[in-house]
Amino acid sequence: MFCDIVADDRPAFVVYESPETVAFLDQRPVFHGHTLVLPRPHYDTLADLPAELIEPLFGAVQKLSVAVPDAMHADGSFVAVNNVVSQSVPHLHVHVVPRRRKDGLRGFFWPRHKYDSEEEMEQTAAAIRDAVSRLGAGGAR
């Protein structure tokens, strides 16, 4: 299904795109602003990712590790990859989750907080796109 989003055959709230990557809001976020970053070509897991896509993928993750908490007025971020176990979609994706001090997230218990509406999702995606655009080129700071 993520290949469908990459191909524009399935709608998503896209927050960042590059020639090699696309990032969009998780439909069932741990916290609002929870973003998934993936390589456009299909690879099942991190172990399958070719060396030449490591920098493009993790360069995008680095930007979003700053832009997502910035947009959500959070304190920091959590970055994670599930491989096979707990991997709900078998297309490699990196989670970028905004974190706040005392937000209640403990260990690997992942509560899910639905968005109230499509409008709320679009406002969240727009805030992250704005935060990415403020970062400029190169590194994340």
Q: Which is nearer to Zn ion, 63 or 91 (CB)?
A: 91
Smallest gap from residue 102 Cβ to Zn ion (A): 36
Would the CA dihedral through 130, 65, 24, 51 be positive or negative? positive
Q: Which is nearer to Zn ion, 42 or 73 (CB)?
A: 42
d(CA 20, CA 92): 13
Smallest gap from residue 81 Cβ to Zn ion (A): 15
- CB-based contacts of 40, cutoff 8 Å, min separation 6: 6, 19, 20, 21, 22
Smallest gap from residue 38 Cβ to Zn ion (A): 8
Residues that bind Zn ion (CB under 5 A): 2-3, 42, 91
Strand, coil or helix: 118: helix
Residue nearest to Zn ion (CB): 91
Q: Which is nearer to Zn ion, 22 or 72 (CB)?
A: 22
Q: Which is nearer to Zn ion, 7 or 137 (CB)?
A: 7
Ramachandran region, residue 43 (left: φ > 0; alpha: ψ -120 to 50; beta: rest): beta
CB contact at 8 A, 38 and 93: yes
- CB-based contacts of 61, cutoff 8 Å, min separation 6: 37, 79, 94, 96
Smallest gap from residue 93 Cβ to Zn ion (A): 9
